[in-house]
Amino acid sequence: MRQPIALAVSVVLVLAAALAGCGSSDDADGTTPRTGTGSGVGTGSAGAPEPAPTADALDGRSFVARAVRGRRLVHGSELTLSFEDGTLGARAGCNTLGAGYTVADGRLRLRGEPQRTMIGCAPALMRQDDWLSDFLAAGPTLALAGERLTLRGERATIGLTEGSSSGAPPPIVGTRWRLESIGDGATVSSVPAGVEPPTLRITKEGRAELFTGCNSGSAAATVRDDGFVVFDEFALTRKACAEPAADVEATVTAILDGEVAAGFEGAQLTLSKDGRRLSFAAG
């Protein structure tokens, strides 16, 4: 009567060993990224590590982040990377970062500290710029599988797919911009009811055409590479403006005077000076 019991114990042990062999090799906490067409963060087929790319394999290609683990991106922002002739370009919703790069031992290696444009943006976007700069400078590992690029750092993983930015803003020059909101410190207000939204257009000839919500006019304007636009004094028509249009005009002309910081939040253009800013949408 003891033989069947021994046989049963043997069967149980064999099954347990088989089940253990089928277990995942991922981290116990379940946070190791897995392959998935929707995430863009993961390993290759059958759990094999994705191959590390060469610099030549990245050259001439651009990628858009589809998943970021370990960091919550600012709502509405987008992270992009581009590789061209040994130079890495990166954006996280505000300024553009740039640096020479190479790939060594499966890691991205920057040549010197990333340089960046000096556009003034919302504090959260500025902090996101700092985070991305530090992440890239720390030498994340690289893995490339087809159109999927994965960068893994000590505390974050970025999964990207090849392609251009879906939310790239239109150019400052040549676009007709319509005022959406006015910011004064922590207070943001929309254009008052009953006031026709002001508009701004900077031509390629260097003229700024402005409608203030009441009067119209123009001024010389220079869009600089360092993230600033310089406006000369506007020559406006002299129509008498009732409130609140008169107040909107005074605010707009006060901000669009001299050196003004220019930046983008998503597809919106922001022009800022002395703690106040104007947010425009194209159209």
Q: Is 236 exposed, middle or buried (0-12, 13-18, 19+ CB in 10 A)?
A: middle
pLDDT-wise least confident of 153-162, 181-190, 237-246: 181-190
Q: Name, in order, each residue with C-beta under 8 angstroms of 256's C-beta and a sequence gap of 6 or more.
A: 200, 208, 210, 231, 234, 271, 278
195-249 pLDDT, tens digit each: 999 999 999 999 999 999 999 999 999 998 888 999 999 999 999 999 999 999 9
The identity of residue 49, as a single letter, is: P
How much is the pTM?
0.49
Cα dihedral: 99, 103, 104, 108 (round 10): 60
Tell me the domains of the chain and their CATH numbers.
45-162 (2.40.128.270), 176-282 (2.40.128.270)
What six digits make up the tokens of 21?
């062999």
Mean pLDDT of 49-78: 86
Mean pLDDT of 157-184: 84
Separation between Cα atoms, residue 148 and residue 158, nearest integer Å: 11
35-54 pLDDT, tens digit each: 333 344 544 444 445 667 89
* Secondary structure E strands in 44-130: 61-69, 80-84, 87-91, 96-104, 107-116
**Residue among 49, 70, 52 at smallest CA distance from 153:** 70
**Residue among 130, 110, 250, 101 at smallest CA distance from 184:** 250
pLDDT of residue 79 exceeding 60, the answer is yes
Tell me, what's the pLDDT at 170? Answer: 76
Separation between Cα atoms, residue 155 and residue 47, nearest integer Å: 21
Mean pLDDT of 10-17: 37
Q: How confident is the model at residue 117 (pLDDT cuts 50, 70, 90)?
A: confident
| Three-class HEC string of 204-215 | CCCEEEEECCCC
Tell me, what's the pLDDT at 36? Answer: 34
**Residue among 25, 21, 47 at smallest CA distance from 36:** 47
On the CB side of 187, CA atoms within 13 Å amount to 2
**Residue among 75, 92, 172, 81 at smallest CA distance from 126:** 92
